[in-house]
Amino acid sequence: MTGQLEIVDLHVSVGGKEILKGITLTIHAGEVVALMGPNGSGKSTLSYAIAGHPDYEITRGSIILNGKEITRATADERSRQGLFLSFQYPVSIPGVTVANFLRTALNAHRPQNEPIDVIEFYELLNQKIKALKISEDFVNRHLNEGFSGGEKKRMEILQMSILTPNYAILDETDSGLDVDALKIVAEGINAQRNPNLGVLLITHYERILSYIKPDKAVVMVKGRIMDSGGPELVRAIEAEGYDRWVKE
């Protein structure tokens, strides 16, 4: 399956205030697109709007997943159609273990009468946690409860590797990670790169992009896409910051 996630002239308001002012961006399957931009430029707003968060009102434009309009679809429908979102501030779910959460999430993506066999699930889970160097007792803990920042991020990548989405929007997956964890998370994402996976990687830093080579980088400032380019653009941002776009 090849395809694309298209964001067309997207305008998004929060509490009546327009934050995104006409975003047009295409993420092709097989591609990693880095989305960069200063604090408050609207990067997370874009990820919430793509997720279908009710507080983020789409006032104009559309989101099209493999040719199908999902602008008004529920978050659940989006997820079933192969969209995966990780958030800058993941929520905790007390009382639900990591293993149970992942099994429920995986079954929700399968036909109703075909839940994954429990033994098969644990084999899959064990294989994935080994690859991400996550300790075995981690999966019996309650989801995100008391997790360190780095553990939450690893948890997201674990979730992604179990669900094998078609498109993943990763918001600041690198924030709060120490150098070793960053490498493991980046390797975890790289291991999942394939012609059927398109990734929008939201980040502030070049560091993660030295591990995960993006096919394209785009710069968002004040709710608009101001520039796009290759590795040279990422290097320029790291060296000079966003001044040249902020001043315009």
Ligand X SMILES: Nc1ncnc2c1ncn2[C@@H]1O[C@H](COP(=O)(O)OP(=O)(O)OP(=O)(O)O)[C@@H](O)[C@H]1O
Residue in 87, 209, 247, 213 with CA at minimum distance from that of residue 159:
87
Which range of residues in 27-35, 39-47, 98-106, 134-142 is near Mg ion by CB under 5 A? 39-47
User: What whole-number distance in Å separates Cα of residue 173 and Cα of residue 87?
Assistant: 8
3-state class (DSSP) for residue 42? coil
- Does residue 86 touch Mg ion according to CB under 5 A? no
Binding pattern to Mg ion, positions 159-198, x when CB under 5 A? ----------------------------------------
Which range of residues in 37-45, 91-99, 141-149, 152-160 is near ligand X by CB under 6 A? 37-45
Among 44, 86, 159, 166, binds Mg ion (CB under 5 A): 44
Work out the widest C-alpha separation in the chain, in whole angstroms. Answer: 58
Which range of residues in 32-40, 70-78, 89-97, 230-238 is near ligand X by CB under 6 A? 32-40
Q: Tell me which of ligand X, Mg ion, none is bound by residue 14, counting a contact when its beta carbon lies within the kind-specific cut-off of 5 to 8 angstroms.
A: ligand X
Binding pattern to ligand X, positions 190-209, x when CB under 6 A? --------------------
- Does residue 79 touch Mg ion according to CB under 5 A? no
**Identity of the residue, 41 or 166, whose beta carbon is nearer to ligand X in the bound complex:** 41
What's 196's DSSP letter?
A: T
User: What whole-number distance in Å separates Cα of residue 98 and Cα of residue 117?
Assistant: 17
Q: Which residues contact 144 (CB under 8 A, 6 or more apart)?
A: 90, 91, 92, 93, 152, 155
**Identity of the residue, 133 or 224, whose beta carbon is nearer to ligand X in the bound complex:** 224
Distance of CA 164 to the CA centre of its chain: 12
Which range of residues in 1-9, 42-50, 66-74, 79-87 is near ligand X by CB under 6 A? 42-50
Beta strands in 29-67 (DSSP E): 32-36, 56-65
- Does residue 52 touch ligand X according to CB under 6 A? no
Specify whether the backbone of 47 is left (phi greater than 0), alpha (psi in -120 to 50) or beta.
Answer: alpha
- Give the H or E element holding residue 234: helix 231-240
Contacts with ligand X, residue ranges (CB under 6 A): 14-15, 19, 37, 39-45, 55, 88
